[in-house]
Structure 1
Amino acid sequence: MSADDGLRAVCRPGAGRAPIEVWAPLAEHVAVEWSPAVPEATDRSRQVRRDDMTAVGDGWWRWEPPSEAADATLDYAFVLDGAEPALPDPRSAWQPEGVHGPSRSFDPSHFGWSDDGWRGPRDGHGVLGGVVYELHVGTFTPEGTLDAAAGRLDHLVALGVDVVELMPLVAFPGRWGWGYDGVDLYAVHDGYGGPEALQRFVDAAHARGLGVALDVVHNHLGASGNYLSRFGPYFTQGHHTPWGAAVNLDDAGADHVRGFLVDSVLRWFRDFHVDALRLDAVHELKDSSPRHYLAELSDAVTALAAELGRPLDLVAESDLNDTMMVTPTAEGGRGMTAQWDDDVHHALHVALTGERQGYYADFAGGAGRDEGGPLAVLAKVLTRGFLHDGSHSSFRNRAWGAPVDREHLDARRLLGYLQTHDQVGNRAVGDRISATVTPARQAVGAALYLLAPTTPMVFMGEEWAASTPWQFFTGFEEDWLVEAVRAGRRAEFGLHGWASDEVPDPQDPHTRDRSVLRWDEVDDEPHARVLRWYSACTALRRVLLGDQPTRLADVAVRADDADGWVVLEHRPAGRAPYAVVANLGAEPREVPLAGGGAVLLAWDLDATSVSGTGVTLAPDTAAVVALA
């Protein structure tokens, strides 16, 4: 990526007659259709002008706005070789008329930031070890906007959150959707408030000591409004993904495509002051180049962090179960700050619910596995990082993953969680774990991941055992795409044994409406008690773990599937040791624990006691105790 390419990421058209540029190496002629933006106008055709663009080399085209466009916000689109309709800018900052409409210029420098003293999450320590909160803007509040979400930030502060992770915000088809079918990687979805609303949200978060992470998708684009292939070789038939042809990272023209993606990342950090990015399904970034795209991205972000003087983090969603993802680039790794660890979720979910269909089968243990039952599997995951660490995965029908270096890997580089958007929303009816287990049993799972040495992540509403489901919803306009999504969902759920007639219609507006959090229930029982538990766990985490690196080698987990108990003992270097003790059995039980001391936290304090031989707990409860 050249310096000139990098400038194109931040100097998009705005006030002051900045030039409009586009990379369109496949075109022999490019024109720009433009007009001053008039948001209330209903007939743009009377205002539109068309000017030829100038080829400036290497596939780039440029247009200098005339004097009458000075200081004006412009609506504009590109005409390639005379073909209609005009197409939005691949680097559009704003699509106020949707993904098929014209782009609108946006000057990010106009915003009046108030975060000059911001040093990054946790006063400069970054994401690692902090409490992350995954949030979907469209269902976090009834309004479904960034401004409305900002009005709930004080709740997250009280909960003990350090970093708010926003699910994808880039422009996607329709008003409502999950965002993973976005098609304009530089634009903020207009339904959420557009680009300045994101600036307001980040500024408000920083004012409260909260970092902000964005979930971005570089492995594919959505099917509706995806015009990139009309401009250049953004995709390649040399690799394929579940969504079709792969993003071009190693074929002809790949240098420009890689620059396009890297520029978008640097722009979120520089122009919108975000602190971290979560990169979706990086295992589908197919790249056989000598230097992998993720390593290039990591080094570019590291350089920008040094320039800005604050930590900038990259968190990968990877299905590979390989910590090469978080190994520094200087050591041949991908250089990510951290990676999601789905094995933590799967092990906790099976242990708490007893489900064992689909990919949960291995996590139930039993025949053909060495670990034992579900609690023994959970013990392995909490001490080894992954269940599949080179062992056989029956779901994939092959060996999977690689061992974790328990002695040297900073365990905070693995994110653990009880729920995520995927693990809730990709169930047939989007039911949360709180629809299956008691609040007390959910509290057991929460304590085990919130007080583990890994970095914890809470899914919105989990902290009060929200009664609302979180379902899959879309807003497509094309009938063929609507039916394809419906059929695909039914087929996928059939593999898990769920009846197709249970699956909500993604296009039904009520599917989104059912998924909106009900804030009026937060103060009611049992929701309020669950919220108090989560808040107490996050507060205790700060006391017990601080900001120091952690090691899986300092964790010992004992479990008994027959009697239903599990103990996580953590003896972090230089910190006070502690244990999370849980009774998942149906009867009160003394859970064996030598050297236990004061009870630091208990779901049922009156029924919890510590003796010289163990901790007595009521059924389905957990406690945290100090260790000698």
Structure 2
Amino acid sequence: MKGTTFSPTFGVKYKDKQAEICLWAPDANDVQLAINENGNPLSMTKQERGLWTLSTDQLRPGTSYQFVVDGSLIADPASKLQPEGPAGPSQAVDLSEFSWTDGNWVNFDLSEYIIYELHTGTFTDAGTFSGIEERLDYLKDLGITAIEIMPVAAFPGTRNWGYDGVFPFAVQESYGGPQALQHLVNACHEKGMAVILDVVYNHLGPEGNVLTTVGPYTTAKYPTPWGEAMNMDDAGSDYVRQYFIENALLWLSEYHIDALRLDAVHAIRDFGPKHFLAELADAVRDLEQQTGKNYHLIAECDLNDRRFLESTDRAGYGMDAQWVDEFHHALRVTCGEPAEGYYSDFSGLAHLAKAFSSGYVYDGIFSSHRDRTFGTKTTGIPGSQFVVFSQNHDQVGNRAFGERSVVLYGAAKARLMAAATLLSPFVPLLFMGEEYGETRPFLYFMDHQGAELVEAVRKGRASEFSFAEGQEPPDPKAEETFLDCKLSFSTAAEHGKMFAYYKALISMRKTDPVFNAADRSALQVDHDESKQLLILDWNTGMHKRRVCFNFSDQPLKLDLPDQGEYSAVFNSDDQCWGGNGTAAAEPEQAFTIPSLSVIILAN
């Protein structure tokens, strides 16, 4: 890595063993630094526009500190570690002390990403970054090229999805803290895997937030599902924008993270002349020039607006890719998900066919769920800018009982869904455990400390769902709810056929010249709703592949004029994958698609 000139404004940084400290508190009259809760506080100097600064050799790495703002003690809004949680003091950390060994690491292009989303607390029994490290060989054997870690910003208690973080710069202590995260990223790079970190720039958690006590970090101009929006365009927004941009650059430069997944960017409200995301994208491009590295920004966005994917020099927002929920919705309805709520906009197979060909289903057509025309065309956008999945933390965890696909639809449909995702012209993402057919749920859980807030969350979650008589909604505060979500790797061997199936599909994705190229322009999609048949025809000029999905409960005979040009190379109903059929290579089975299965034909 080239030397980086990234030097954050906020928080604590070290230069020649001196701690350079900065707090933005525009309305404060007096700010001091209290070290170790003892000794005399050190006075800080007010600079222009509310920045308070101090240079001292008394704040050494590992030392606890707090700010005294007009007589009130608060933790550092840019703290890198909260060892006692959000309510406690901050601890000074010098991230440059870590000894990296990943100098030869080169990040993959997004087209090469095969993403595995995981939650640190439930991925292993240990629930730590070191626990993840112990599973890296397992993920490498599966064929994963990038892990995506759900948010690690400090939150109250010891268990949370991560979207209730209140210290965006601080790494959750119960996961292992900053050095353990650096160690994990270094280990991933040594294993040949990229690391994506999920970050939240659209809201703060409901408990333990200190940002709004020192400055206008939020604005009442725009409501969000989580309260006031982050202040990206109101009075005082310059330093709010800089705060979050520095946060992104910190993960990329000091933790060597390869990509950021930006949570719910549609909830980042910014009507200024240059959108926050565009400013962030340009800052990341500048960092690339400084470090010689390549980074990716992946947005979670439900607006179907191509501006998020357009470059900033074309007045776009500069995101490298986005999650596409509509692929998931169409796939699930095709597999039997009731067309209710946001699923009501999806007809099943016809919309799945469109998702394969267009990325967006709603690309400028009328949406009955929204009661308006919705979306933009995706012409010219490569498939590597769309991340697709058959399940993820949201789609599993926001069900009342957190059921996974294999529980809801059965193993045969789970295999269909896996093939649809992994053989799509897009970037595939798997959710932890699906690769071996995990049946344990992924539920919503939290460990808020305030009794009133806990009760409000309980009531709020319960009111979102209807429960049969005698059913009790899982208590999100209960430790048992959290423990129920731990992956059962001890029983993974019992599901070896599903694991082998995923491994075979991933290998095909990585080595087959057609599936590896994933060229949208080389794909033609056909479907027959009466037969519940979907056909993906790939033609690169040199190679042809035909992927035939049978979503019905009856076997289907293919009757295509050119079928003599093909031979069958894969059958999801093969007994080796846990199916009922015989090997796809047997001629008499080659052009019969068993029920609820997919066959792959090669030219």
| TM-score computed with the length of structure 1 as normaliser | 0.90
Q: CA-to-partner distance for each residue in 1:3-40, whole Å, 9 max, x for gaps? A: 999532586259823122211111011122212xxxxx
The alpha-carbon distance between structure 1 residues 592 and 530, as it changes in their structure 2 partners (threshold 3 A), is farther
Match of 1:410 among 382, 385, 388: 382
Secondary structure in structure 1 of the residue aligned to 2:169: strand
CA contact (8 A) 2:65 2:90 kept: yes
Report the counterpart of residue 491 of structure 2 in structure 1.
521
Please state if 1:587 is matched with 2:557: no
What is the deviation of 1:278? Answer: 0.1
Return the offset for 1:601.
2.1
Q: Which amino acid aligns with 1:476?
A: H
Partner of 2:600: 624
Identity %: 38
**1:370 — aligned with what?**
none
Unaligned residue ranges in structure 2 (runs of 5+):
575-581
Q: Distance in 1 between matches of 2:239 and 2:6?
A: 8
Provide the secondary structure at the position in 2 that maps to 1:246: strand
Q: Distance in 2 between matches of 1:555 and 1:178?
A: 37
* Whole-angstrom CA distance in 2 between matches of 1:445 and 1:237: 42
Residue 33 of structure 1: aligned partner: 34
In 1, Cα distance between equivalents of 2:283 and 2:509: 32
Confirm or deny: 8 A CA contact 2:436 2:496 kept in the other structure: yes
Deviations 1:118-163 (Å, cap 9, x if unpaired)? 1113xxx2x2342011110000001100001111011111111111
The aligned residue for residue 224 of structure 2 is 241
Matching residue of 2:188: 205
Equivalence map 1:354-503=2 (5 Å):
354-363=337-346, 365=347, 374-405=348-379, 408-494=380-466, 501-503=471-473
1:151 alignment partner in structure 2: 134
* 2:543 counterpart residue number: 576
Instruction: Please give the alpha-carbon distance, in whole angstroms, between the structure 1 residues aligned to 2:535 and 2:39.
Output: 68
Aligned partner of 2:168 in structure 1 is 185
SS in 2 for 1:214: strand
Whether 1:332 aligns to 2:308 is no
**Contact (CA 8 Å) 1:610, 1:616: kept in 2 or not?**
no
Supply the AA of the counterpart residue of 1:235. T
Q: Deviations over 1:412-451 (max 9, x none)?
A: 1011100010000000000001102221221111111101
Give the secondary-structure state (helix, strand or coil) at the position aligned to 2:138: helix
**Once the 2 structures are TM-superposed, how far is the Cα of residue 479 of structure 1 from its aligned partner?**
1.4
Show CA shifts across 1:342-365 (max 9, x none): 0111111111134222111221x2
**Cα contact 2:59–2:92 (8 A) shared by 1:** no
What is the CA distance between 1:492 and its match in structure 2?
Answer: 2.0
Change in CA separation of 1:304 and 1:506 when aligned onto 2, cut-off 3 Å: same
Q: Report the 3-state secondary structure (helix = DSSP H, G, I; strand = E; otherwise coil) of the residue aligned with 1:185.
A: strand
Return the alpha-carbon distance in structure 2 between the equivalents of residues 550 and 607 of structure 1. 26
Q: Give me the whole-angstrom Cα distance separating, in 1, the residues matched to 2:412 and 2:5.
A: 57
Q: Decide whether the 8 Å contact of 2:12 with 2:22 is kept in 1.
A: no
Corresponding position of 1:561: 529
SS at match of 1:436: helix
Report the 3-state secondary structure (helix = DSSP H, G, I; strand = E; otherwise coil) of the residue aligned with 1:144.
coil
Q: Is the 8 A contact 2:443 2:481 kept in 1?
A: yes
Query: What is the CA distance between 1:324 and its match in structure 2?
Result: 1.6
* Range with greater deviation from structure 2 (22-31 or 6-15): 6-15
- Could you tell which deviates more after superposition, 209-218 or 315-324? 315-324
Q: Which amino acid aligns with 1:603?
A: S
Q: How far apart are the structure 1 equivalents of 2:336 and 2:13? A: 50
SS of 1:236's equivalent? strand
CA–CA separation in structure 2 for the residues paired with 1:500 and 1:260: 48
Q: 1:536 aligns with which of 478, 484, 504?
A: 504
- Structure 2 counterpart SS, 1:73: coil
Q: Is the 8 A contact 1:15 1:70 kept in 2?
A: no
> Taking structure 1 as reference, are residues 54 and 491 closer, same or farther at Cα in structure 2, changes over 3 Å only?
same
Bigger mean CA deviation after superposition, 232-241 or 104-113: 232-241
Letter in 2 for 1:485: V
Check whether the contact 2:35–2:59 (CA below 8 A) recurs between aligned residues.
no
Distance in 2, Cα, partners of 1:4 & 1:251: 29
- Change in CA separation of 1:586 and 1:154 when aligned onto 2, cut-off 3 Å: same
- Paired amino acid for 2:53: R
Aligned partners of 2:61 and 2:93 also within 8 Å: no
Whether the aligned pair in 2 keeps the contact of 1:544 and 1:576 (CA below 8 Å) is no
Provide the aligned length of Structure 1 versus Structure 2: 591
With 582-591 and 418-427 compared, the bigger mean Cα shift is at: 582-591
Q: Partner of 1:55 in structure 2?
A: 46
Offset at 1:540?
A: 0.5
Offset at 1:513?
A: 0.3
Q: Is the contact between residue 410 and residue 550 of structure 1 (CA under 8 Å) also seen in structure 2?
A: no
Query: Compared with structure 1, are the counterparts of its residues 70 and 613 closer, same or farther at alpha carbon in structure 2 (3 Å cutoff)?
Result: closer
SS at match of 1:298: helix
AA matched with 1:50: P
How far, CA to CA, are the matches of 1:334 and 1:224 in structure 2? Answer: 31
Deviates more, 1:319-328 or 1:283-292: 319-328
Deviations 1:282-312 (A, max 9, x none): 0010001111110010011011112211210
Equivalent-residue separation in structure 2 for 1:385 and 1:276 (angstroms) = 21
Partner of 2:578: none
For normalisation by structure 2, the TM-score amounts to 0.93
Matched, 1:166 2:149: yes
State the alpha-carbon separation in 2 of the partners of residues 156 and 546 from structure 1. Answer: 24
Q: Name stretches of at least 5 consecutive residues in structure 1 with no aligned partner.
A: 36-44, 366-373
Aligned match of 1:371: none
Q: Which amino acid aligns with 1:561?
A: E
Q: Which amino acid aligns with 1:136?
A: H
Distance, in Å, in 1 between the alignment partners of 2:396 and 2:16 is 44
SS at match of 1:12: strand
Q: CA RMSD in A?
A: 2.3
One-letter amino acid of the structure 1 residue matched with residue 20 of structure 2: P
| Secondary structure, aligned partner of 1:64 | strand
Distance in 1 separating the partners of 2:378 and 2:11: 39
Contact 1:119 1:309 in 2 (8 A): no
Q: Deviations over 1:175-202 (max 9, x none)?
A: 0000001010111000100000100000
Query: Residues 584-623 of structure 1 correspond to what in structure 2 (within 5 A)?
Result: 584-593=551-560, 594-595=562-563, 597-605=566-574, 606=582, 608=584, 615-623=591-599
CA contact 2:535–2:546 (8 Å) conserved in 1 = yes
Match of 1:512 among 474, 478, 482: 482
Are 1:177 and 1:474, in contact at CA under 8 Å, matched by a contact in 2?
Answer: yes
Q: In the TM superposition, what are the counterparts of 1:38-117 in structure 2 within 5 Å?
A: 47=38, 49-66=40-57, 69=58, 71-83=60-72, 86-117=73-104
One-letter amino acid of the counterpart of residue 248, structure 1 = N
Please report how far the alpha carbon of residue 588 of structure 1 lies from its aligned counterpart in structure 2 after TM superposition.
Answer: 2.3
- Decide whether aligned partners of structure 1 residues 95 and 25 sit closer, same or farther in structure 2, where only a CA change above 3 A counts: same
Whether contact under 8 Å (1:282, 1:317) holds in the other structure is: yes
2:236 pairs, out of 242, 248, 253, with 253
Contact 1:569 1:580 in 2 (8 A): yes
Equivalent residue, structure 2, for 1:17 = 18
Counterpart amino acid of 2:283? A
Q: 1: distance between equivalents of 2:454 and 2:281?
A: 37
Distance 1:400 1:562, change over 3 A: same
| CA apart distance, 1:60 | 1.1
* Structure 1 residues 549 and 306: CA distance shift in structure 2, 3 A: farther
